[in-house]
Amino acid sequence: MRSWGGLPEHPQRSRSLNWRDELAECWDEPTLAVGAGRSYGDCGLAASGEVLCTTGMNRMLQFDQNSGVLRCEAGVSLGDILRHTVPAGWILPVLPGTQYVTVAGAIANDVHGKNHHGFGTFGRHVKSLLLQRSDRELIECSAGNRSEWFSASIAGLGLTGVILQAELQLKPVAGAWLQCDTVRFRELAEFFALSEESDQNYEYTVAWIDCLHARSRGIFSRAWHIEDARPAPLREPRFRVPFTPPLSPVNRFTLRAFNSLYYHRQRLRGHPDTIPLGDWFFPLDSIGSWNRLYGSRGFRQYQCVVPAPVVRDLLAIIRRSAQGSFLAVLKTFGDLQSPGLMSFPRPGVTLALDFPWRGSATLELFAQLDAVVGSNDGAIYPAKDAHMQGADFRRAYPAWETVERLRDPRLKSLLWQRVTEDS
């Protein structure tokens, strides 16, 4: 098994965990329980090279249609949940950019979505967790019960024990459709103005930017749920990248062309579209295995959160490096606090970009970005990371020591080894 970004060079051995009783036999070697393998970097890879894949533990155990509380196993995918709860009038309050991640993965990384300004992170909607420790202890925890375990496990990168089950509070939804509109912005200042205005009035907001363009033009999208009884099942990918091409079609020239095309093809304000929720939340899921487009060397994502004015500096560095990305996303985070101790979102603007992996050239660029992020008290997102320096991690996530104290001695990721054992 490899991570979404194509790490590591030698794939890790994976063992399937389909039933919780099988876990008893899995503790001989140090390991790491992982979900769908959608984390980009090395937080979903085991330091020992042996991962426990939990996607077979995908049973929904109880769903109360009156209260919207769902109890399910760790490996259920968010898409699987939506398929069953949306027709019943309930939706996961926080959805990341892909439906394929598992519940436990969403909890361990405390993922966020396009409504962070209104609903915070995924972890805010977790009512309780069931953890299995390697010493056979079973820990049921919530905000009010053994809360130390609860807050260390949300955004806990899967280290405090194997998450077996979770109880989630869903949100009522009137249907499977959203209304969305898009507005072009010609420069960053317009983005900030749009974001400030829209976050007060729109449930979901996100922006795509053309990071190769001198003034960082882009497209601001916003959406809101509408009442519409027509069913809109989540779609299967319309196209699947069948293999990893030896040469990546993603390069400076195709990127420039792509970005230009994408920018100009967008419709202008005043023409709201009605779209199925899957198309709004998971646009990239329409291309199966899109990560293969980056060729056999794979790619890295850089996602950080910084105070708004710093975004300009980061974009300037990226433009100068002439390494760019098609998937460049900007989103303003709100100030809703997550229960998770090591949660990534914090007030500021988050910038996420994909870079084709070019070895030292990419690392040099990341080092320049890291310096800016670090000196402005920003943070890098562990779920996307494969390069962050230990010192930067420990500064941005000071609660790491609590997590380390509660970490199960049998569980360790490559990321954790990298960022906590380098001093």
Partner 1 sequence: MARILIVGATSAIAIASARLFAARGDDLVLAARNEERLGSLAADLRVRGAGAVDTVSFMAQPQQDYQGFAGRVWDQGLDCLLLAHGSLRSQDRCQDDVTASRREFEVNALSTICLLAAFAGRFAEQGAGNMVVISSVAGDRGRQSNYLYGSAKAAVSTYCQGLRNRMHSSGVRVITIKPGFVDTPMTAGFEKGLLWTQPEQIASGILRALERGSDVVYLPWFWRYIMLVIRLIPERWFKRLSL
Stretch that binds partner 1, among 52-60, 171-179, 266-274, 359-367 (CB under 8 A): 52-60
Return the number of the residue (46 or 330) whose C-beta is nearest partner 1: 46
Give the tokens for residue 103.
């519940």
Stretch that binds partner 1, among 11-19, 197-205, 320-328, 381-389 (CB under 8 A): 11-19
Candidates 84, 186, 235, 269; binder of partner 1 (CB under 8 A) is 84
**Minimum distance from residue 298 beta carbon to partner 1 (Å):** 21
Stretch that binds partner 1, among 17-25, 135-143, 280-288, 364-372 (CB under 8 A): 17-25
**Minimum distance from residue 201 beta carbon to partner 1 (Å):** 35
Candidates 2, 15, 171, 319; binder of partner 1 (CB under 8 A) is 15
Asked if 19 interacts with partner 1 (CB under 8 A), we say yes
**Minimum distance from residue 358 beta carbon to partner 1 (Å):** 31
8 Å CB contact between 257 and 211? no
Asked if 21 interacts with partner 1 (CB under 8 A), we say yes
8 Å CB contact between 125 and 169? yes
Give ∠ CA 284-286-289 in degrees, rounded to 5: 75
Return the number of the residue (233 or 398) whose C-beta is nearest partner 1: 233
Return the number of the residue (40 or 63) whose C-beta is nearest partner 1: 63
Distance CA 300, CA 357 (A): 6
> Which residues touch 406 (CB under 8 Å, ≥6 apart)?
148, 149, 152, 156, 159, 160
Return the number of the residue (17 or 250) whose C-beta is nearest partner 1: 17
Asked if 16 interacts with partner 1 (CB under 8 A), we say yes
Distance CA 335, CA 314 (A): 22
**CA 261 → CA 119, 189, 327, 406, distances in Å?**
33, 22, 14, 49
Distance CA 199, CA 141 (A): 33
Return the number of the residue (88 or 189) whose C-beta is nearest partner 1: 88
Site for partner 1 in 54-73 (CB under 8 A): 56, 59-63, 73
Terminal alpha carbon distance of the chain: 29
**Minimum distance from residue 57 beta carbon to partner 1 (Å):** 9
* 110 burial type by CB count under 10 A (0-12 exposed, 13-18 middle, 19+ buried): buried
* 43 burial type by CB count under 10 A (0-12 exposed, 13-18 middle, 19+ buried): buried
**Minimum distance from residue 61 beta carbon to partner 1 (Å):** 5
Site for partner 1 in 390-409 (CB under 8 A): none
Distance CA 56, CA 74 (A): 9
Return the number of the residue (75 or 382) whose C-beta is nearest partner 1: 75
Stretch that binds partner 1, among 10-18, 271-279, 322-330, 364-372 (CB under 8 A): 10-18
Distance CA 162, CA 133 (A): 7
**Minimum distance from residue 81 beta carbon to partner 1 (Å):** 10
Three-state DSSP class for 410?
coil
> Which residues touch 161 (CB under 8 Å, ≥6 apart)?
131, 132, 133, 134, 139, 149, 153, 408, 411
Return the number of the residue (76 or 419) whose C-beta is nearest partner 1: 76
Stretch that binds partner 1, among 19-27, 44-52, 141-149, 402-410 (CB under 8 A): 19-27
Return the number of the residue (15 or 346) whose C-beta is nearest partner 1: 15
> Which residues touch 343 (CB under 8 Å, ≥6 apart)?
110, 121, 123, 154, 155
**Minimum distance from residue 130 beta carbon to partner 1 (Å):** 12
Annotate each residue in 265-304 with x if it binds partner 1 (CB under 8 A) or - if it does not, as one string.
----------------------------------------
For residue 319, report the phi and psi dihedrals to the nearest 5 degrees: -65, -45
Distance CA 130, CA 160 (A): 11
Q: Footprint of partner 1 on this chain (CB under 8 A)?
A: 15-16, 18-21, 56, 59-63, 73, 84
